[in-house]
Structure 1
Amino acid sequence: MRVFLVEDNPQHSFLAVKVLQLLLGEASEVIVAESAEEALTLIDHFTEYDRPDLILVDLRLPDNGGFEVLAAARSHEACAQVPALVLTSSLYDKDVAQSYDLGAAAVLCKPLSRANLREELIRIGKLAPGPTRVRTSFAH
């Protein structure tokens, strides 16, 4: 699965990538944009053949960039139907409502929780329900 992550905080980005890899497997590809400007450039270049399967956008990018990125993804032909999850550290009713108005599939609190992301991925059909991946090690 290809995931497009837009996050300007390196620590939050690192955590999100790790959570995505735990849930989706190491073979998943995460494309990271560190600014709204970088994200908008990447969105413009996505085609129906290389578009992401999922978009995660930090709402609080500088200059309301999260809203701009979400709107651009919804209006871009190749990305219009790709589920977009909004990540935010504050849940102001106005911001949540605007996110949904712009086509967000869900709004998730930061820091990103594996359980919350798993629940949303199952809900939008990007992850099969069932047991979570368990790593086991055996001592010799």
Structure 2
Amino acid sequence: MTTTKPRSLAREASHQIIAGGSAAPRRSSQEQDPTLEFLRKFAIGLTSGTISSCVNIPFDVAKSRIQGPQPVPGEIKYRTCFQTMGLVYREEGYLALYKGLVPKIMRLGPGGAVMLLVYEYVSGWLQENW
């Protein structure tokens, strides 16, 4: 049995809440244009992946600081998630909490779109055929 550390749990929970909560599309009883429906689902998935990355990145920065080498050998500077975020904010400014945001959005934005599309089409296929 593996244990999840609180900072990892907070980081994963924030991503799943945002991505999972905002990616639920509305169902319509009317048949719609398949291309528009595809683009709508893609946009919803892309938006949810992007928003969840923006909410989640400060937790990722804190996790990386805690797990990485400490600035002064033998002295623990970064201890907890929220203490680390506060310290980074005070010492380096607000934007330091968002280091690496662009590559993360480039990975998880389209990833959210693909995940939602695969889920929707596989779910629809299974409902029709099983």
Same topology, TM > 0.5: no
- Alignment TM-score, normalising by the size of structure 2: 0.26
Name the one with the larger strand percent: 1
